[in-house]
Amino acid sequence: MVKTTRIRLDRISSSTRNAQLANEVIVGDEIVAAEGYVLAVRILHDKSSYNTVEDRAGRMVALRAGDVLAGTLGHRRALRGYAGVVPAAISVGDTIEVLNLGGILGTCTSATPENGSPFKAEVLGAILAFPELGDRIGRPAHIRDQAVPVAERLEQQIPVVYVVGTCMNAGKTVAATELVRGLSRSGLRVAASKLTGVSLMRDALSMLDAGAVAALTFNDIGIATTRAGLTVPAAKGIFNRLAAAKPDVIVAELGDGILGEYGVQDILKDAELTGVGAAYVMAAPDPVGCWGAVTLMRDLFNLPVTVLTGPATDNEVGRDYIQKELGLPSHNALRHAAGLVEVVRAALDQHVAAADSRRLVAAAR
């Protein structure tokens, strides 16, 4: 029989938002050790860096020793962050670690020097959900609860601007945000999405602040961390739900890099998802990254790069290389967002015109 306890949460991480937790929850001692299940844990120590968690409003709030946190079991394979896995078994009283700012919980297998060791936390139990009114026996809460459904196909052919990069922290979110802002100001209804990565709301919130009429991430699908095999149906489900906002275009950021472990490659290889691709914005840190990204996009995915951005375009050295050696436009999203938007808008207009032409030809047959 499940032993239950009522506890009060001090912090509710953003990764749990689909579960719609109250500040007071019931926890059980039978824990499902699998990605997406929601646990209550007690933080065991203080930290001086990487010491916050994103709450359900998107605010970064401090974690202190003794805080009771609601987090989500998940894996993480970040090049510049913690790597970790969901342990094979979890019991009340075990120690687990906080792997990212969105409150993903697991066993850390690797850390980077700049972040130090992750928070360690004591497992208090599985937070229980009571989905039916009057339920007295709960079940372990999962972030699939209230989630946007995945899909096998796109219901509408809305043009998509994909923002991809060579790795994390290459400038993708800045570029995506400026594209949302610029395209919105040009008169388009812009929806936004983050299709791959580890649960965190801030990127989608940045795009909403920039003028997006709607924004969703893979976490809204009920996925804590993306990986190969998950991302294509998740992306199609996200695009189908965003279509309800009647956007003219969707700006879609692909977290991590085109050679990472978060399932970016699956999206770039899917004919239906790339068929709606109007532009491919590539963020890269240096000229070698620019060359490699352009080469991989061409040879591995048979896709063009529309424009390059990111730290490689911070000054004229990188921009000159991109323009002269790669024959592509380059615009820094921070310093020349207008140029970036102009290139993408031209590609978008060309994509829409080509789609209209195809429809006319099909109608005439």
CA distance 145 to 260: 28
The amino acid sitting at 166 is T
pLDDT for res 69: 98
pLDDT band at 12 (very low <50, low <70, confident <90, very high): very high
SS3 307: strand
Q: What is the pLDDT of residue 304?
A: 97
pLDDT at 175: 97
- Across the beta sheet with 214-217, the strand order is 214-217, 190-196, 249-254, 160-165, 277-283, 307-309
Judge if pTM exceeds 0.85: yes
The count of C-alpha atoms lying within 13 angstroms of the C-alpha of 11, restricted to the half-sphere facing its C-beta, is: 29
CA distance 136 to 43: 29
Alpha-carbon span 194 to 205, nearest angstrom: 11
For residue 197, the 8-state DSSP code is: S
Q: Check residue 133 and give its pLDDT.
A: 58
Average pLDDT over residues 320-343: 95
pLDDT for position 332: 96
The Cα–Cα gap between 95 and 102 comes to: 18
Rg (Cα) of the chain, in Å, rounded? 21
> How far apart are alpha carbons 230 and 259 in whole angstroms?
16
CA 75 to each of CA 33, 50, 167, 275, 310: distance values in angstroms, whole numbers, following the listed order: 12, 18, 18, 30, 27
CA 295 to chain centre: 25
At 26-66, the pLDDT tens digits run 999 999 999 999 999 999 999 988 899 999 999 999 999 99
Distance CA 198, CA 99 (A): 10
How does residue 360 score in pLDDT terms, banded at 50, 70 and 90?
A: confident
> What mean pLDDT is reported for the chain?
93
Confidence of residue 1 (pLDDT cuts 50, 70, 90): low
Question: Residue 168's pLDDT band (boundaries 50, 70, 90)?
Answer: confident
